[in-house]
Amino acid sequence: MKRILFVCTGNTCRSPMAEALFRTLAAGSDWEVRSAGVAAYEGQPASQQAVQVLAECGIDHNHQATRINGDLILWADLILTMAHSHKSLIVSYFPEAQQKVFTLKEYVGANDGGDIADPFGGTVEEYRKCAREIQVLLDKLWAHLSRQQ
Protein backbone atom coordinates (compact mmCIF):
# COMPACT_ATOMS: atom_id res chain seq x y z
CA MET A 1 0.00 0.00 0.00
CA LYS A 2 1.32 3.43 -0.96
CA ARG A 3 0.14 6.43 1.01
CA ILE A 4 -0.40 10.01 -0.11
CA LEU A 5 -1.33 12.97 2.09
CA PHE A 6 -2.78 16.22 0.73
CA VAL A 7 -2.32 19.30 2.91
CA CYS A 8 -3.82 22.79 2.95
CA THR A 9 -4.53 25.33 5.69
CA GLY A 10 -7.76 24.36 7.43
CA ASN A 11 -8.46 21.00 5.78
CA THR A 12 -11.96 22.14 4.80
CA CYS A 13 -11.54 23.20 1.14
CA ARG A 14 -8.59 22.34 -1.09
CA SER A 15 -7.09 19.26 0.56
CA PRO A 16 -10.44 17.49 1.15
CA MET A 17 -11.34 18.11 -2.49
CA ALA A 18 -7.93 16.78 -3.58
CA GLU A 19 -8.34 13.76 -1.30
CA ALA A 20 -11.81 12.90 -2.62
CA LEU A 21 -10.92 13.53 -6.27
CA PHE A 22 -7.71 11.50 -6.05
CA ARG A 23 -9.46 8.66 -4.22
CA THR A 24 -11.94 8.49 -7.10
CA LEU A 25 -9.17 8.68 -9.70
CA ALA A 26 -7.12 5.95 -8.01
CA ALA A 27 -10.04 3.65 -7.14
CA GLY A 28 -8.95 0.03 -7.30
CA SER A 29 -5.26 0.89 -7.04
CA ASP A 30 -2.93 0.34 -4.11
CA TRP A 31 -2.91 4.05 -3.15
CA GLU A 32 -4.37 5.07 0.20
CA VAL A 33 -5.16 8.78 0.54
CA ARG A 34 -5.81 11.19 3.39
CA SER A 35 -5.78 14.95 3.92
CA ALA A 36 -4.87 17.33 6.72
CA GLY A 37 -4.43 21.01 7.47
CA VAL A 38 -1.58 22.95 9.03
CA ALA A 39 -4.10 25.02 11.03
CA ALA A 40 -7.11 22.70 11.06
CA TYR A 41 -9.75 22.60 13.78
CA GLU A 42 -10.16 18.88 14.47
CA GLY A 43 -13.49 17.47 13.39
CA GLN A 44 -14.68 20.49 11.42
CA PRO A 45 -16.66 19.45 8.32
CA ALA A 46 -15.65 20.38 4.79
CA SER A 47 -17.07 23.68 3.62
CA GLN A 48 -20.57 23.53 2.15
CA GLN A 49 -19.22 24.74 -1.19
CA ALA A 50 -16.60 21.96 -1.29
CA VAL A 51 -19.25 19.36 -0.47
CA GLN A 52 -21.51 20.77 -3.20
CA VAL A 53 -18.76 20.78 -5.82
CA LEU A 54 -17.78 17.20 -4.96
CA ALA A 55 -21.44 16.15 -5.13
CA GLU A 56 -21.61 17.70 -8.61
CA CYS A 57 -18.73 15.35 -9.50
CA GLY A 58 -20.71 12.41 -8.12
CA ILE A 59 -18.59 12.16 -4.96
CA ASP A 60 -20.06 11.86 -1.48
CA HIS A 61 -17.21 12.79 0.86
CA ASN A 62 -18.10 12.76 4.55
CA HIS A 63 -15.09 14.73 5.76
CA GLN A 64 -13.82 15.83 9.15
CA ALA A 65 -10.79 18.09 9.38
CA THR A 66 -7.53 16.75 10.76
CA ARG A 67 -4.53 18.78 11.91
CA ILE A 68 -1.16 17.67 10.54
CA ASN A 69 0.76 15.66 13.12
CA GLY A 70 3.75 13.38 13.48
CA ASP A 71 1.71 10.22 12.98
CA LEU A 72 0.42 11.46 9.61
CA ILE A 73 3.94 12.49 8.59
CA LEU A 74 5.16 8.96 9.36
CA TRP A 75 2.13 7.39 7.68
CA ALA A 76 2.60 9.20 4.36
CA ASP A 77 4.95 8.11 1.61
CA LEU A 78 4.26 11.35 -0.28
CA ILE A 79 2.98 14.67 1.09
CA LEU A 80 1.57 17.15 -1.41
CA THR A 81 0.67 20.65 -0.29
CA MET A 82 -1.57 23.22 -1.90
CA ALA A 83 0.84 26.12 -1.25
CA HIS A 84 4.52 26.78 -0.66
CA SER A 85 3.73 28.08 2.83
CA HIS A 86 2.28 24.68 3.79
CA LYS A 87 5.40 22.92 2.54
CA SER A 88 7.68 25.31 4.45
CA LEU A 89 5.71 24.91 7.65
CA ILE A 90 5.76 21.11 7.46
CA VAL A 91 9.49 21.01 6.80
CA SER A 92 10.17 23.43 9.66
CA TYR A 93 8.21 21.29 12.16
CA PHE A 94 9.08 17.90 10.67
CA PRO A 95 12.52 18.21 9.02
CA GLU A 96 12.71 14.44 8.65
CA ALA A 97 9.91 14.70 6.08
CA GLN A 98 11.77 17.06 3.76
CA GLN A 99 12.43 14.43 1.08
CA LYS A 100 8.76 13.55 0.70
CA VAL A 101 7.09 17.00 0.87
CA PHE A 102 6.30 18.92 -2.32
CA THR A 103 3.68 21.34 -3.49
CA LEU A 104 1.26 19.56 -5.80
CA LYS A 105 2.21 21.87 -8.67
CA GLU A 106 5.92 21.35 -8.05
CA TYR A 107 5.56 17.56 -7.99
CA VAL A 108 3.71 17.36 -11.31
CA GLY A 109 5.90 19.98 -12.99
CA ALA A 110 3.18 22.57 -13.50
CA ASN A 111 4.60 25.48 -15.45
CA ASP A 112 3.68 28.27 -13.06
CA GLY A 113 4.75 26.33 -9.97
CA GLY A 114 2.66 28.65 -7.82
CA ASP A 115 0.05 27.99 -5.20
CA ILE A 116 -3.47 26.71 -5.67
CA ALA A 117 -5.64 29.66 -4.65
CA ASP A 118 -7.66 29.16 -1.48
CA PRO A 119 -11.40 29.41 -2.22
CA PHE A 120 -12.28 29.69 1.50
CA GLY A 121 -15.27 31.99 1.94
CA GLY A 122 -15.77 32.26 -1.79
CA THR A 123 -18.63 31.43 -4.10
CA VAL A 124 -19.50 27.97 -5.36
CA GLU A 125 -18.08 29.02 -8.73
CA GLU A 126 -14.72 29.80 -7.08
CA TYR A 127 -14.78 26.31 -5.55
CA ARG A 128 -15.61 24.81 -8.95
CA LYS A 129 -12.65 26.65 -10.48
CA CYS A 130 -10.40 25.41 -7.69
CA ALA A 131 -11.65 21.83 -8.09
CA ARG A 132 -11.06 21.97 -11.86
CA GLU A 133 -7.49 23.17 -11.28
CA ILE A 134 -6.90 20.42 -8.73
CA GLN A 135 -8.39 17.79 -11.08
CA VAL A 136 -6.03 18.78 -13.90
CA LEU A 137 -3.08 18.49 -11.51
CA LEU A 138 -4.32 15.17 -10.13
CA ASP A 139 -4.62 13.78 -13.66
CA LYS A 140 -0.94 14.68 -14.17
CA LEU A 141 -0.09 13.19 -10.77
CA TRP A 142 -1.88 9.94 -11.59
CA ALA A 143 -0.11 9.68 -14.95
CA HIS A 144 3.24 10.27 -13.19
CA LEU A 145 2.55 7.75 -10.44
CA SER A 146 1.31 5.16 -12.94
CA ARG A 147 4.56 5.44 -14.92
CA GLN A 148 6.58 4.78 -11.74
CA GLN A 149 4.87 1.45 -11.03
What is the structure's pLDDT at 148? 81
Count of domains observed in the chain: 1
What is the structure's pLDDT at 32? 97
Helix (H) or strand (E) holding 6: strand 2-8
What is the structure's pLDDT at 87? 98
Q: Above 90 in pLDDT, residue 72?
A: yes
Which entry of 3, 57, 67, 118 is annotated as an active-site residue? 118
Which entry of 8, 13, 115, 130 is annotated as an active-site residue? 8
Catalytic (active site) residue 67:
no
Catalytic (active site) residue 8:
yes
**What is the pLDDT averaged over residues 124-129?**
98
Q: Which domain holds residue 129?
A: 2-148
Show the 3-state SS of 65-126: CCECCHHHHHHCCEEEECCHHHHHHHHHHCHHHHHHEEEHHHHHCCCCCCCCCCCCCCCHHH
Dihedral (CA of 72, 78, 84, 88) sign: positive
Domain of 82: which CATH number? 3.40.50.2300
In angstroms, the CA 117 to CA 12 distance is: 14
Catalytic (active site) residue 14:
yes
What is the structure's pLDDT at 112? 83
Q: What is the mean pLDDT of the chain?
A: 96
Q: Above 90 in pLDDT, residue 149?
A: no
**What is the pLDDT averaged over residues 59-73?**
97
Res. 43 pLDDT band, cuts 50 70 90: very high
